[in-house]
Amino acid sequence: MRQRFFLLLLLICSFFFSFSQTKSENIVVVTMDGLRWQEIFGGADSLLTYDTTAKYSYKYVQNHFWAPTAFERRKKLMPFFWSEIASKGVLLGNRNYGNYFNNANPYWFSYPGYNEIFTGYPDTAVNSNDKIPNKNENIFEYLSKFPEFKGKAAVFGSWDVFASIFNEGRSGLLVNDGFRDLQGSLNEKQKLFNELQHQMPDLFHGGERLDAATFNIAFEYMKTHTPRLMFFGLGDTDEFAHAGQYDYYLDAAQNADGWIRQIWEYIQSAPEYKDKTTLIITTDHGRGLAAGSNWRHHGSRIAEASEMWMAAIGPSIKATGESKQKGQAYQGQIAATIAVMAGKEFKPTHPVLPPLSFSAK
Ligand SMILES: [Zn+2]
């Protein structure tokens, strides 16, 4: 294991000059589970848009998401990504330019992916989606030991395994996942969102609520409590892909883009956050290619499922837009990057991949 880890360190070269050394007082992370880099950088996939044998509504996909070029299609699918983030932030992972962003862990499914993002450690012992309390320390937990972050970190997710991934019991982080109601003193909106999540269809059968519930519960918490470290873990994209619903999968990605816009606009309007908050957006894993239905699946038997992407915007990010630099980076570098953005060094007891490189302005 250690050998594999150090081999990875050698592979990582400092080529992503996308980060400035300006600190961020607040860091918000949003993930869209299993959303492919192919859609981020190319919009609706042509094979899947014109698959007349598909069980999903390919007509809907054509009407809502199709355009002749990839540049138009991606803008249609993710308008916030391809306006605000592309002009003021950075987007990593367009493999058409040799800009590679991958899982470093060898499994390419959710728990190992989220573990890698937040602990910086592509731990081979983390190899199932079972609700096992994570033995690895995550970056929110680590930063919460500093007085300025103490009690100011919150984790919201659609999937009910986040409490284990973030080891709620040990870390003491506020975690609201699955169908759990938000506790504490609540305003009228929060009471309504708690109720609504139980009135929405339980499409994914028990363990995972729809993202519309997660987003609204989390966003209202953000406005009322202004946490300094915050995570929105969205899941619809992965669930609809597994179900073979490309129409709903694209809808979910587009909805998330709209929510991310709302989060960013709120950040830039609130004195607690404005110009001192960096927003990081990524995914836990990739998926297969369109051909042969592999786009529905992921995991180590799907050759392309470790291919992923990352985007960011905020004071710690240089506005370099879509990166066309050749090179390789890993999701496991995000944890140490968050620490550097916060003006700290991530030094837990387990090994950690190095931060994405910073360069002096
Ligand atoms: Zn999945």
Segment 52-61, tens digit of pLDDT: 999 999 999 9
pLDDT of residue 2: 60
pLDDT of residue 9: 65
Residue 15 Cα to ligand 1 middle (Å): 30
Nearest Cα to 131, choosing from 157, 105, 151? 157
pLDDT of residue 292: 87
Phi-psi region of 129 (alpha: psi -120 to 50; beta: other; left: phi over 0): alpha
**Would you say residue 175 lies in a domain?**
yes
Q: Give, in degrees to the nearest 5, the angle at Cα 102 between 5 and 145.
A: 65
Q: What is the DSSP letter of 333?
A: G
pLDDT of residue 347: 98
In the predicted structure, residue 321 carries a pLDDT above the cut 90:
yes
For 38, 43, 93, 247, 330, the CA distances from 62, given in Å and listed in that order, are 17, 12, 25, 9, 33
**Would you say residue 240 lies in a domain?**
yes
In the predicted structure, residue 10 carries a pLDDT above the cut 60:
no
pLDDT of residue 360: 33
Strand partners, 159: 208
pLDDT of residue 359: 40
**Would you say residue 347 lies in a domain?**
no
Residue 345 Cα to ligand 1 middle (Å): 32
pLDDT tens digit string along 158-175? 999 999 999 999 999 999
Backbone CA torsion sign across 29, 356, 24, 74: negative
Residue 111 Cα to ligand 1 middle (Å): 10
pLDDT of residue 289: 98
Banded pLDDT at 176 (limits 50, 70, 90): very high
If you average pLDDT over residues 177-201, what whole number do you get?
97
Token pair, residue 47, equals 């094979």
**Would you say residue 346 lies in a domain?**
no
Nearest Cα to 250, choosing from 262, 240, 260? 240
278, 25 in Cβ contact below 8 A? no
Residue 240 Cα to ligand 1 middle (Å): 9
**Would you say residue 353 lies in a domain?**
no
Residue 177 Cα to ligand 1 middle (Å): 17
Token pair, residue 202, equals 């339980």
Single-letter amino acid code for the residue at 237: T
Token pair, residue 3, equals 């050998």
**Would you say residue 235 lies in a domain?**
yes
pLDDT of residue 330: 97
Nearest Cα to 34, choosing from 279, 269, 195, 241? 241
In the predicted structure, residue 274 carries a pLDDT above the cut 60:
yes
If you average pLDDT over residues 65-83, what whole number do you get?
98
Query: What's the domain count of the chain?
Result: 1
Residue 157 Cα to ligand 1 middle (Å): 15
If you average pLDDT over residues 109-123, what whole number do you get?
98
Residue 256 Cα to ligand 1 middle (Å): 17
Residue 109 Cα to ligand 1 middle (Å): 6
**Would you say residue 351 lies in a domain?**
no
Print the domain residue range for 322: 2-341
For 29, 105, 280, 285, the CA distances from 312, given in Å and listed in that order, are 9, 22, 4, 17
**Would you say residue 357 lies in a domain?**
no
In the predicted structure, residue 1 carries a pLDDT above the cut 90:
no
If you average pLDDT over residues 92-115, what whole number do you get?
98
pLDDT tens digit string along 79-96? 999 999 999 999 999 999
Residue 67 Cα to ligand 1 middle (Å): 28
Residue 93 Cα to ligand 1 middle (Å): 20
In the predicted structure, residue 75 carries a pLDDT above the cut 60:
yes
Residue 143 Cα to ligand 1 middle (Å): 29
Q: Above pLDDT 70, what percent of the chain?
A: 94
Residue 131 Cα to ligand 1 middle (Å): 15
Helices vs strands, H then E, count in the chain: 15, 10
- The two most distant CA atoms of the chain are separated, in Å, by 58
In the predicted structure, residue 143 carries a pLDDT above the cut 60:
yes
CATH number at residue 92: 3.40.720.10
- Report the predicted TM-score, pTM, of the whole model to 2 decimal places: 0.96
Residue with tokens 């932030």: 89
